[in-house]
Structures are given as C-alpha cells and as structure tokens.
Amino acid sequence: MKLIDSYINDGKVIVNKDTSLINRVTYWIQGFLNIAFIRWANVRNEWYFHLLIAPLLPLGVLVFMKFSGAIDDLETALYITSGNVVLSLVLGPMQSICNDLAWGRQRNDLDFYSVLPISKMQLILGITSISTLFSIPGMLMVLLVGKVWLGFEIVFHPIIIAVIILSGLAMVGLGVIMGVYARNGHHANVMNSITIVIVTFLSPVLIPLENLPKLIQYTSYLFPTSYAANAFRSSLKGIVDMSLYLNILALIVFIVITFSFIIKKIDWRIE
C-alpha cells in the first residue's frame, strides 16, 4: 500500500497522494509501529533492567514503610503499594522519553528521525508505548509482593487497562519538554531526578491527601499523579463510580493539553 506515488513528467516531479481515510490511518499506524520496533530493538538489550532492577526502588520503599510502622492496616498497605506502582507507571515513560530525546540530540540520532516520513506524535507514542509495556511486569511484581506479604485484596476491573495507558501518557509531555531543552543526557537525568522528588512529595501518591499540609493539598491537584493514583486504587478495589470517571477525565485533559503544546510549539531538532 502506497500513500504517496510520484513520477516524472516533462522534467517535473509529480506527486500524487492517496487521501482516503483508511489508507492514511494505515500509513500512520505503520509509521508508529516502525518507531516502536526501533525502540523495542534497543530495550530488548536491557530487558533485565526493566524486569529485575526497576522494581527494586518501589519494593525498597514498600519494605521501609512496613518496617518503619507506617503500614499498620490493610487499607494503608494497599494505598502505599498502589502509590509505588503509580510512580513507576507515570514517571517511567516520562524518564524514558526525556532521556531518549536528550541523548538522541547529543548523538544526532534525531537527525535520522527528522528525515523519516513520521510525525512528532508517532515518534512520541512509539517510544512511550514500549516504555509503558516494559513497566507492566515490574508493576505486577510489586502488586504481587504487596498482596502476598501484606495481605490486602485486589479486584482487577477491566477499566484498569485504560487507567494504565492514560497514566503512562500523563507526564510524557513534560518528559518531551525536558528532553528537548536539556543541554545533554546528564542534564536530562538531573531534571528527571528533580521532577521525581517534586511529584513524590507534593502529590498524594504515598501519603494520604488529608495528611499533607493544607497548601500542598490544593497544589496536589496540579499533578496528574494525583488523579492516576486515585483512579488506579479505585480500579484495584473494583469500585467504578463517578469519582473514577472524573479522575480518568482529568488524565485525558492533562494528556490533550501537554500533547497539543509539544506538537505545535516544540521542535525536537532545536539546537
């Protein structure tokens, strides 16, 4: 299937485009899959990091909270365990796209992408989808350890699939902005670390909202992790109500706003 067909007539290059909706959608999906495959080819060489090393931090936090006495009932156990999972799910893709763009600019990898017939959206989603996919095994590992060790119950509602996808995309826009404007890969790592600290302590991911200072309770609504954590916990409990839908809607709004900004305003080839 060809979307664009060209030929020479009287010394001029004539370009004919297939504007049918089906072919355009198919062509877009092919471009997205090509980028995803390129990202997959890189990640498959470091699978052990995503499957074995990445879950160590959330598991470490879980162990620390348990032995420090912060977890004293099943509700708190589920709250902290799900918060750990959400941090990995939301921040993992953000870190991945930020580092990929920063190191890509430093190594001139983006010069290769810039000549491909792809859009910014295809590039971003291609990288992010693989990062989110590889974060799922670690997420399941943390949930399994929490369930077996701490004894809380989990009810997997099908809507959790939508929550996982939206959570993975929630802060990708910020990752793109940091990756494009970072001076180099090391600068991107510093920006990622600062963002993780801010998001962890200024949103009710590990600490219940009512236990946060009054000012932070209000500012926490500015972070998509707050809505991702609430939606994820409701999905694990099997509670599908208006609150869950509002949290999902908030994630969609964050994604639409940030993606619209980076598509229109950000140039990944900026020097």
Whether the per-residue pLDDT at 8 is higher than 70: the answer is no
Query: In this predicted model, what pLDDT tens digit does every residue of 74-125 receive, in sequence order?
Result: 888 889 898 888 888 888 888 888 888 888 888 877 777 777 778 888 888 8
Query: In this predicted model, what pLDDT tens digit does every residue of 165-178 receive, in sequence order?
Result: 999 899 998 998 89
Rounded to 10 degrees, what is the CA torsion of 86, 87, 88, 92?
Answer: 120
Give the position of tokens 């999906």.
29
Q: How far apart (Å, rounded) are the C-alpha atoms in residues 219 and 158?
A: 31
Q: How far apart (Å, rounded) are the C-alpha atoms in residues 200 and 71?
A: 18
Q: What angle do CA 6, 11, 15 make, to 5 degrees?
A: 20
Q: How far apart (Å, rounded) are the C-alpha atoms in residues 46 and 79?
A: 30
